Amino acid sequence: GCVSAMKLLNNAQENFINVGFLRLFRAARLIKLLRQGYTIRILLWTFVQSFKALPYVCLLIAMLFFIYAIIGMQVFGNMKFDPDSALNRHNNFQTFFGALLLLFRC
């Protein structure tokens, strides 16, 4: 039952359309996209203009990491290491740099 069904599926795949034939449609779509130069130019211009806000987004993320590292040091900084838990010298809030690394890994 199962083996004969798999043979039928293999035969159906071999007699279907060659996968290389479908790549022709991908190439045609790329050519069509390149013909529409105006819309691509607008899209690229918008993409470049969005880079102006990128430093502010990075600064906001850095401030959030700073604040959460300080809060983590205050709340979880005094916890002792336990060999049976995930708290070790790499995963703790005892130092500011360690807290930042832990937040970055999360």
| DSSP per residue, the chain | -HHHHHHHHHHHHHHS--HHHHHHHHHHHHHHHHH-HHHHHHHHHHHHHHGGGHHHHHHHHHHHHHHHHHHHHHHHTTPPP-TTSS-SSSS-SSSHHHHHHHHHH-
pLDDT given at position 16 = 57
Residue range of the domain that includes 58: 52-106
Q: Domain tally for the chain?
A: 1
In a domain, 35, yes or no: no
In a domain, 13, yes or no: no
pLDDT given at position 57 = 95
pLDDT given at position 67 = 96
In a domain, 20, yes or no: no
Tens digit of pLDDT per residue, the chain (106 long)? 555 555 555 555 555 556 666 677 777 776 776 666 777 778 878 888 998 999 999 999 999 999 999 999 999 888 877 777 777 777 788 889 989 988 988 7
In a domain, 96, yes or no: yes
Instruction: Give the predicted TM-score (pTM) of the model.
Output: 0.54
